[in-house]
Amino acid sequence: MTANGWTRRLSREAPSPKEVSRPGRLLAWAVRLLVPAALMCTAFHDSRVHGWIAVAGAGAALASGGLAGALLRTTPEHRLRPSLALVLMLLGLAAGSEAAGFRPAAVVLCCGCAVTALERLPLLAALPAASVAFAAFVAVDDGTGPTSASAIGGMALAGYALRLDAEARGNAHRLLAQERAARAAEAESAALAERARVAREIHDVLAHSLSAQLVHLEAARLLLEGRADRAQILARVVAARGMARDGLDETRQSLSALRGELTPLEDCLRALVRTSDAVEVTVGGERRPLPAEASQAVRRVAREALTNARRHAPGAKIRVRLEYGPREVTLDVRDTGGPPGELAEAGGGYGLLGMRERAELLGGSLAAGPGEEGFVVTLKVPV
């Protein structure tokens, strides 16, 4: 046994009655009441016990009960010296009981001290205390040597079994406390993650959309101050209005995602290209619902890629393919290329850089660059 095993004390929760079942607590209280009652009946049944001897015996019984209760309260508090002092005081009462003729009470006190010491004290202190209690038991017991040895062995086994049971309860209590703490930390982490997700939704939808609108409106103001052509000013205002409309749609989608009311991804993609005959949408693989974060990432990348294709290559043919794989979903948006439009230099609503960061947060990837004909955007998100 290691040094820590010799000096280790029971946890404060190990002997706690709160960790014992109700039948166990009722049984313990029954034993506490029946044993003193039986001892009192046995001790005072003798006709020689009367007068002041009876009064002294009753006082000793009450004192023994008080000291035993104090010992049971002191040992869980890891107060070694007071616990040893209480054990010695109880053994002293056992010696006094034997001298006064109350042998059954003396035997019970010696046995109780030995078992309690083995159960609750560190082994380095429990073994000497139990040895003293066993020696006192041999002195007051009127049985033969083999009988006393058998009783001592049984009490030692009982005390050590109670110690193991208390240690098991203490370990179970610690594990339960750790599990509760882990659950609380997990719930707090989930709440923080949800707050971060809401913050990203607000940032992606409102911050980018509003900043892009400000760019176009500021450009319109400068054009007005410079008395520029009306068509140029109108183009900036129309672009700002379109971005405001897109931002409003994205806000509604984000609120629906937070409420768990997202429309199917295929329907969303077809709604994005409903007004255009130059866009072809195909869906492959086994269709299934996606997590809200993954679904939102696919929707936003599709919207951004289509917006960029219409801005940089107006009139080009665009092919959108959504592929459901066993472990990931892939979105591929590619155009056939063409001359840049008038709004090619205007800021985007969200930006592929932000979408790439979102994909990486989900453990996926986003690739964007020139293809065989035009521009290709490929998003892969694990699901």
Rounded CA-CA distance 51/296 in Å is 91
Q: Report which residue type is found at 199.
A: A
For residue 368, what pLDDT is reported? 86
In the three-class reduction of DSSP (H, G, I as helix; E, B as strand; rest coil), residue 67 is classed as helix
For residue 345, what pLDDT is reported? 46
Question: Chain-wide mean pLDDT for the chain?
Answer: 76
Domain boundaries, the chain: 3-142, 262-383
Greatest mean pLDDT among 68-82, 128-142, 267-281: 128-142
pLDDT in tens, 206-235: 766 777 788 878 888 888 888 778 888 888
> For the chain, what percent of residues have pLDDT higher than 90?
3
pLDDT in tens, 54-72: 566 666 667 777 777 787 7
CATH of 262-383, one of 3.40.1260.10, 3.40.250.10, 3.40.225.10, 3.30.565.10: 3.30.565.10
pTM greater than 0.75: no
Q: Which residues pair with 321 in a beta bridge?
A: 282, 332
Rounded CA-CA distance 205/194 in Å is 16
Rounded CA-CA distance 230/227 in Å is 8
* Cβ neighbours, 10 Å, residue 270: 14
The more confident residue out of 77 and 376 is 376
> For the chain, what percent of residues have pLDDT higher than 70?
74
pLDDT at 152 over 80: yes
* Cβ neighbours, 10 Å, residue 221: 12
For residue 25, what pLDDT is reported? 65
pLDDT at 176 over 80: yes
